Amino acid sequence: MERRVLGALLTAPNEPVAAADLLAAAWPDGGPEDASEQLSEAIDVLRDLVDPHRFPGADGNLIHLSGDRYMLCADRADVDSFGFDDAVLSARAARGRGDLEAAGDELRAGLGRWRGALLEGFDGAFFAAVRERFEDVRLQAFEALYEVELERGLHHEILPDLAQQVAAHPLREGYRKTFLLALYRTDRKQDALNQYAELRKRLQRMENRSPSADVRELARRIAVDDPTLLPESEQPVPVPRAKPKRYLDHVPLPPPGGPFQFSQPHPLPAVQLPPTAVHVPQPPPHPVAPVLPLPPAAAPLVVAPQPFQVHNPLAAAAVLHPSPPARRALPDQRRRFALKAGAVVLSWATLGVAPAIIAGVMAYRRRKWWHLVPAPLYLAGSTAFFLPEEATGWPLVGYYVIMHLASAHMMISVAPRSVGGPGQNP
């Protein structure tokens, strides 16, 4: 029993283990009624075994913690699981900085600490769960090792071991992914695609799922012969385009500390043209039309026709194509009619007030004060419309007469015969 309790404590060194787990490890099928007392006796025996030089009455390296828990204190160098964990961490760091050879050496050293089966001879659910957890960690270390070797270009060397691991663990996608890439790099593309198809069928049948996204993407790239799947040494090197020749590449650099000087080119021989080879007439600097003398005052002015000389193209265009003269605005009959009709409506709508106001405005603008003469009449007619006939003594027909006069006056004032012409002052 002491051996089983020690094995349970060694599965988690430097970590507390509950007494219930130790009882499950000691008695897989259920312990006796005095299992707790027997466990305490086994702990005392183990204290003398792992720490024989402890003080009497002291716990030593096997500590009893509160909450009925026990912890075995151990040095990391004395426990294989600690050495394995440290090697995996060192390999991960080396791979991160690009040292693949060191990463592979660390992983091999860590995996070398596994000697035989873990906790061989210990049965029960407790040890089965522990073995499964440690085995998964070990397989992950192998997957990392194969990936490192594949990155180093050792696909031919790892292919036999990978085939054995895939056969032993057919559902582990990490092994299968590395195996597919190793097959493709050894010119076995069809075998790689067959392995992927076999993995997909097995996962669908046994776990009712498809391969992971990484495995599916790798299979797609294999099917299309993605060149980036090959090692860097075997990938096709792109041919750089030829750069255009630049004449400045041949410019000599200045000497250190001296001025920058171009080399003197060879002078070209002067070409002498014969005097009769080409003759280009030179025009006068400023051609001017001849000045004609003025005729006598008594005689009629006669100008002889002279050839037309053009000195300015824009001026010539203006002379040859003069702009048409501005048209004089014609009277707008419709506007005159609208003004007259509006004057009539405004006279009746405002009861004579608008004609009086417009008469005053016209008298001021045109400086013709006789326009003010009918204004009092219009205002009187407007006032008479609101008063009874007995108060004013005017018959109603008088109001209509005044309104007709006001309408005619407004028509004459606001609608002259010519509207909109230039030079008019309405």
Tens digit of pLDDT for each residue in 66-102?
Answer: 788 999 888 888 889 999 999 999 999 999 999 999 9
Tokens 């009925």 found at: 68
* In a shared domain, residues 69 and 131: no
Lowest mean pLDDT segment, chosen from 57-71, 143-157, 305-319, 384-398? 305-319
* In a shared domain, residues 150 and 70: no
> Would you place residue 48 in the very low, low, confident or very high pLDDT band (cuts 50, 70, 90)?
confident
Domain final residue, candidates 74, 98, 125 = 74
**Cβ 36 vs Cβ 85: under 8 Å:** no
Q: Which residues contact residue 379 at a Cβ distance below 8 angstroms, ignoring those fewer than 6 apart?
A: 352, 353, 356
Burial (0-12, 13-18, 19+ Cβ within 10 Å), 393: exposed
Residue 417, pLDDT above cutoff 50: no
Q: Print the domain residue range for 366.
A: 333-414
| Whole-number Å distance between alpha carbons of 266 and 390 | 124
| Whole-number Å distance between alpha carbons of 138 and 108 | 11
* In a shared domain, residues 31 and 98: no
**Cβ 81 vs Cβ 118: under 8 Å:** no
Compute the radius of gyration of the chain from its Cα atoms: 59
Q: What is the DSSP letter of 245?
A: P
List, as one string, the DSSP characters of 34-55: THHHHHHHHHHHHHHHH-TTSP
The closest of 180, 113, 102 to 145, measured between CA atoms, is 102
**Cβ 424 vs Cβ 329: under 8 Å:** no
User: What pLDDT sits at residue 301?
Assistant: 47
| Whole-number Å distance between alpha carbons of 359 and 65 | 119
Burial (0-12, 13-18, 19+ Cβ within 10 Å), 188: middle
Quick check: is 385 in a domain?
A: yes
* In a shared domain, residues 32 and 89: no
The closest of 151, 154, 157, 142 to 112, measured between CA atoms, is 142
User: What pLDDT sits at residue 99?
Assistant: 95
Cα 47 off chain centre by: 66
Residue 259, pLDDT above cutoff 80: no
Question: The domain that contains 29 carries what CATH number?
Answer: 1.10.10.10
Domain final residue, candidates 28, 58, 74 = 74
Average pLDDT over residues 272-277: 53
* In a shared domain, residues 98 and 54: no
* In a shared domain, residues 92 and 191: yes
User: What pLDDT sits at residue 150?
Assistant: 93
Tokens linked to 80 = 């294989």
- The interaxial angle of helices 333-349 and 396-414, nearest 10 deg, is 150
pLDDT tens digit string along 310-330?
Answer: 455 555 455 455 555 555 444
Quick check: is 6 in a domain?
A: yes
Q: What is the DSSP letter of 366?
A: H
Quick check: is 203 in a domain?
A: yes
Q: Which residues is 71 bridged to in the sheet?
A: 63
* In a shared domain, residues 47 and 171: no
The closest of 92, 82, 107, 119 to 6, measured between CA atoms, is 119
User: What pLDDT sits at residue 232?
Assistant: 73
> Would you place residue 268 in the very low, low, confident or very high pLDDT band (cuts 50, 70, 90)?
low
Indicate the SS3 state at residue 405.
helix
Q: What is the DSSP letter of 258?
A: S
> Would you place residue 126 in the very low, low, confident or very high pLDDT band (cuts 50, 70, 90)?
very high
